Amino acid sequence: MLDTTCEAVGRWVGESERSALPGARRQPRIAIELPVPRQFLRQVVAPHAALGRPWLDGDDPLLVDEDLVQEYRIALYIRPRGGERWGLSVTTVPPLAARVRIRLGDDLFQARFDGQGEAHLDNVPIALLRAARGPDMQIAITSDDDTA
């Protein structure tokens, strides 16, 4: 059993006590899988990668895909990080206590969602995102306590 801090009572509480606190709601187990087809990914990423330095200076990420799954709005964003490396961000609304795994063939990138429902994966080679041939992107979101 994991202990967590509850600001309302100012002490450590266990999982069974937390569910009894006013307003506390236990998150159901999450297992979401989202494929992003290779051709779609390439059509979105390649033109922006070709822009090079001018687009690198922007602070806004590019929305690649967005979907509503199991009452959660899930969005995938990309952003250049410099050189041949790009960052991926996955957001969930409402926020999830979960982890995201993004697989492109043999390459696996993973991160935990923060309290705002954002997970950031930096240092993804742009070649994996803009290649004309290769595997589809597989996004898997699972509960924090899942080990799969």
What one-letter code names the amino acid at 46? A
Q: For residue 50, what pLDDT is reported?
A: 66
List, in order of start, the domains of the chain with CATH numbers: 27-143 (2.60.210)
Q: How confident is the model at residue 85 (pLDDT cuts 50, 70, 90)?
A: confident
Closest to 147 measured CA to CA, from 119, 114, 110: 110
Q: What is the pTM of this model?
A: 0.73
The rounded distance, in Å, linking the Cα atoms of 42 and 39 is: 5
Whole-number average pLDDT of the chain:
78
Q: For residue 76, what pLDDT is reported?
A: 94
